[in-house]
Amino acid sequence: MEDIKFTKQIKADWLKALRSGDFKRNTAQLRSDDEKKHCCLGVLCEIYPQLSIDPNNSNAVANQKQVQGYSVFNQMFGRENTTELWTTNDDSLIDDYSEVIPLIEKLPTVD
């Protein structure tokens, strides 16, 4: 997998996707088995398929947490930020991404 840097463009695209209403929030996995719900990190994988295990198969993101231990996200944001993102996503009682969006807005980019 290529080393992907967290740029302003990736950040903007991710925030736009989270706010779009096109994705429904999921917990405990990047994407639900029926592919209708995503955790906030799963949305990022959907809009940037190169973050998945197999860039030619976006379905490969479903088990990325178990296989890679979120290593791609740790490289992009740091372990603490990655943990804060997925725990906030999973612990939220709200059905949308409104609790993780402010965390993503604060993440530094490389540019």
Tell me what pLDDT residue 51 has.
77
User: What is the pLDDT, as a whole number, of residue 62?
Assistant: 45
The confidence band for 101, taking pLDDT boundaries of 50, 70 and 90, is very high
DSSP-H helix ranges across the chain: 8-19, 40-47, 64-68, 71-77, 79-91, 101-106
Mean pLDDT score, 98-104: 98
% of the chain surpassing 90 pLDDT: 52
* pLDDT classification of 14: cutoffs 50, 70, 90: very high
Q: Do 4 and 45 touch, CB atoms closer than 8 A?
A: no
Band of pLDDT at residue 68, cut at 50, 70 and 90: low
Ramachandran region of residue 21, left (φ > 0), alpha (ψ -120 to 50) or beta? left
Confidence of residue 63 (pLDDT cuts 50, 70, 90): very low
